[in-house]
Amino acid sequence: TTYTPNIGLQLGLCADIAIYKKLFLTVDALFLTKSFDSKQPVFANSELSITESQSTLDMPLSLKWLFGKNKFKFFVRAGLNTSYLLASSAQMIRSSGTLVDFQGAEIDLKMQRSILNLSPLLGAGIQYKLGYGYLFFDARFAYGMTNISDAQNRYNYFDTQ
């Protein structure tokens, strides 16, 4: 089986609350869309392709430490991300070579997924003072601590319809 990530979308707001001179508590509210493809061989000449898409509301909470003295300031951050699943769906296609043998309807997978997920996060970036606000570049890494599949409902698709 091969997995390929697709391009997603992230929109949101963030607020920095000063705790000490260069230490801030950062609170975000983010809407995210995520998607990935998986492909696996079914028979000798057949392949199953699945595209799963998810929409989540993420609420990261982190401590941010700034350093630098000019308009450009660097920062590092550490915290916890809470993610609430809004929707999850999949499209399946079985193909033989260049021919599509079967393409099913989109399947709602929300019942098979955990609604609430937690992830520790680490990040770094740079911010530039612009008027009364800041323009910033922020790179973050979040490691999922919880399984996104709901173990009790993983195979219950037909029982929930």
DSSP 97-111: TTEEEEEPPPEE-GG
Phi, psi for 157 (deg, rounded to 5) = -60, -50
The pTM of the full predicted model, rounded to 2 decimals, is 0.80
In degrees and rounded to multiples of 5, residue 110 shows phi and psi of: -60, -35
Are β-strands 133-142 and 107-108 bridged in parallel, bridged antiparallel, or unpaired?
unpaired
Name 121's Cβ contacts closer than 8 Å, sequence gap at least 6.
60, 62, 77, 78, 79, 80, 81, 140, 141, 142, 143
Tell me which H or E stretch contains 115: none
> Is the pLDDT assigned to residue 157 strictly greater than 70?
no
- Residue that wins the pLDDT comparison between 18 and 149: 18
Residue 42 clears pLDDT 50, i.e. is over it: yes
Report pLDDT digits (tens) over 72-117.
Answer: 999 999 999 999 999 999 998 888 876 767 788 888 888 888 899 9
**Which of 141, 131, 30, 34 lies closest to 90 in space, CA to CA?**
34
Q: pLDDT tier at 154 (50, 70, 90 boundaries)?
A: low
Q: How far apart are CA 47 and CA 61, in angstroms?
A: 42
How far is Cα 63 from Cα 83, in angstroms, rounded to an integer? Answer: 18
